[in-house]
Amino acid sequence: MTNKINHILTLEDGLKFLVINQVIYRNKNYYFVARITDDESDITGEYRIVEEIKKGEDIYLSTVKDAETIHKLAEYLEPKE
């Protein structure tokens, strides 16, 4: 897994997110991300946990919506100081 912490990810809808933390859970990559402004100068206050999905050579990101999965991942993705 490539370290993507502090990298900016752009979703298909054009929204930009800063990767705060990442983890592998059940053989999948997950990222705790913060939405940033279009000019990349500030965090908007919106946070998500997204899952990396591989389809052939393509990689997609999907927002995790299952409450149980979010709760479990939050233990691993909480930023450490």
CB under 8 A, 24+ apart: contacts of 35-41: 36/8, 40/8, 40/16
The predicted pLDDT at position 79 comes to: 63
List the domain boundaries for the chain.
8-77
On the question of pLDDT at 80 being above 70, the answer is: no
Residue for token digits 């993507």?
A: 4
How confident is the model over 12-67, as pLDDT tens digits?
A: 888 999 999 999 998 999 999 999 999 999 999 999 999 999 999 998 999 999 99
The phi and psi torsions of 38 (rounded to 5 degrees) equal -60, -35
